[in-house]
Amino acid sequence: MSDADPCSDELSAAVAAFTRRGTIEPGLDVEGEALLQLRKACRILDGIRALRDIDRHHTLVVEGSFAALERTVQFYVVDQGLAETNDLLNHEDTFEYGVQAGVCSEATKTELVELWQNHRNGTYYQQERATAEQAEAMLAYAECMHDHVPKLAGRSHDCIC
């Protein structure tokens, strides 16, 4: 190992792990893009709830809440046949398709995109520091949408939260 490339063995092991089939976490070994996105949102929410409960990972709870929200909207958009997962290239696209699908209004989309750009990016890039209050508010919103969207799709039974 050289000083210029610390952890090169670990990097090689990580690359190798992605090139072979391993053990998929329970609930994610499913067919279909839409269901996979829903289940990813379930797992993200499950993980960030645990982090919230130990009360010192506000940045991860905020970040995870945004990710779960996006996966939840992606689920519905793909489930309704409005787009393929590969069509959803950025957060704004996902929420725009969400408006078209009836998940949220144009005003809500605008507010979400502004929240993402003004605050999620700030906490992610360390210009801002996430607070417990922000983490709790974002998690509550992500949970609310995650509860609402599968019901809207008539697929609450597919949620594994």
Give the pLDDT score at 131.
87
pLDDT per residue of the chain (161 residues) written in tens, 0 to 9: 567 788 989 999 999 998 998 888 888 989 899 999 999 999 999 999 998 888 788 889 999 999 999 999 999 999 999 998 888 888 888 999 999 999 999 999 999 988 887 776 565 565 677 888 999 999 999 999 999 999 999 999 999 98
Measured CA to CA in angstroms, residue 153 lies from 37, 103, 109, 156, 157 at distances of: 13, 10, 19, 8, 10
| Residue with tokens 């949620």, as numbered in its chain | 159
The token duo for 12 is 């090689």
pTM of the full predicted structure?
0.86
Give the pLDDT score at 130.
82
What does the alpha-carbon distance between residue 85 and residue 37 come to, in Å, rounded to a whole number?
Answer: 9
Number of neighbours of residue 140 by Cβ within 10 angstroms: 11
Give the pLDDT score at 6.
84
- Of 86, 87, 68, which is closest to residue 135 (Cα–Cα)? 68
Give the pLDDT score at 73.
96
| Residue with tokens 């508010």, as numbered in its chain | 137
